[in-house]
Amino acid sequence: MSTREGVSFARDSTSATGRAVLADALRKADPVGARAVEHETSWRRNYLEHFRRAVEAGIGDAAAARSVAAEGLRSATEQMRYDEVPLASAIETVPLEQALHTTTLQGGGSPDAEVSIPYRGERLRGAGLVRQLDEWVARGVITQSCSDAVQTVMTHPEWLRLEGDTVVVLGAGAEMGPYRALQRWGATVAALDLPRADVQQRVREVATAGAGRVLVPSRIVTDAGADEGADLVRELPAVADWLDRLADQTGDRLVLG
């Protein structure tokens, strides 16, 4: 594993970096909100108000939501550092310490044939799920568009396998996240998490119990084994290189999740 410092905030102020990124994220969709971020005199106390405004800017306006996300990401790559190199240029300029290889894990289960959602100790499906969606809409828990989207997938369970896509799951070994659901559905996943034995054991257990295919970054070690996993903070250029090669090898569209 790399000993680099890796991805980090600018050394002068993490708060200043966060403010700059949020202001840039809002600048096109909500210029008034961007100025409010820049002129906030009590950032540590009031920052949540500004982040909420960034969410509100995209409600009901898909173009604004995409703008907030895209401009925020652009600014973050300009503000953050990889060692002492701007993150925006690190992937192209920092030499690779080692190229990552791919270990493939194949699940032995059968993919889910219908949409189901865990709720209060059971899995809702079919008519029961539709009733619960209607209740959530009535209570304001979800929007009607969310309910409609779930029900659309319910009528097309073949979509669950996500044919033609490889989903890149960051932090695949975490308890929360899409990795387990994707494996139940039979999807192909590029599973990224730390190169630690306990973390990679969780990744393997989900993969072998699932119905999909899992692609794990690994490096060849002297005992002919495979040291699996990658550190996104310290090995970002190597991870980016691996994903580029993975896309070429599989022919799939990569979807970050």
Mean pLDDT across the chain = 93
Between strands 81-82 and 7-8, the pairing is antiparallel
Task: Tell me the three-class secondary structure of 217-253, residue by residue.
Answer: EEEECCCCCEEECCCCCCCHHHHHHHHHHHHHHHCCE
Which two structure tokens, joined as six digits, stand for 155?
């009528």
Q: What is the pLDDT of residue 3?
A: 64
CA distances from 36 to 21, 44, 71, 86 (A): 13, 14, 17, 26
What one-character DSSP code corresponds to residue 159?
A: G
* 48-104 pLDDT, tens digit each: 999 999 999 998 899 999 999 999 999 999 999 998 888 888 888 888 888 999 999
Q: Which phi and psi (to 5°) does residue 32 adopt?
A: -65, -40
What one-character DSSP code corresponds to residue 187?
A: -
Collect all residues with Cβ–Cβ distance below 8 Å to 212 and sequence separation of at least 6.
Answer: 107, 111, 161, 182, 183, 185, 186, 187, 188, 189
Residue 131 has pLDDT above 80, yes or no: yes
What is the rounded distance in angstroms from the CA atom of residue 218 to the CA atom of residue 140?
45
pTM: 0.84
* 96-130 pLDDT, tens digit each: 888 999 999 999 999 999 999 999 999 999 999 99
Residue 183 has pLDDT above 60, yes or no: yes
Tokens 């005992």: give the residue.
223
Residue 180 has pLDDT above 80, yes or no: yes
Residue 12 has pLDDT above 80, yes or no: no
Q: Which phi and psi (to 5°) does residue 13 adopt?
A: -165, 120
Q: What is the pLDDT of residue 112?
A: 93
Q: What is the pLDDT of residue 179?
A: 97
Residue 221 has pLDDT above 80, yes or no: no
Q: What is the pLDDT of residue 219?
A: 87
β partners of residue 117: 124
Q: Give the rounded percent of residues in the chain with a pLDDT score beyond 90.
A: 82
What is the rounded distance in angstroms from the CA atom of residue 147 to the CA atom of residue 153?
10
What one-character DSSP code corresponds to residue 99?
A: -
Q: What is the pLDDT of residue 222?
A: 56
Residue 1 has pLDDT above 70, yes or no: no
Q: What is the pLDDT of residue 109?
A: 94
Predicted confidence band of residue 223 (pLDDT cuts 50, 70, 90): low
Which H or E run contains 138?
Answer: helix 126-139
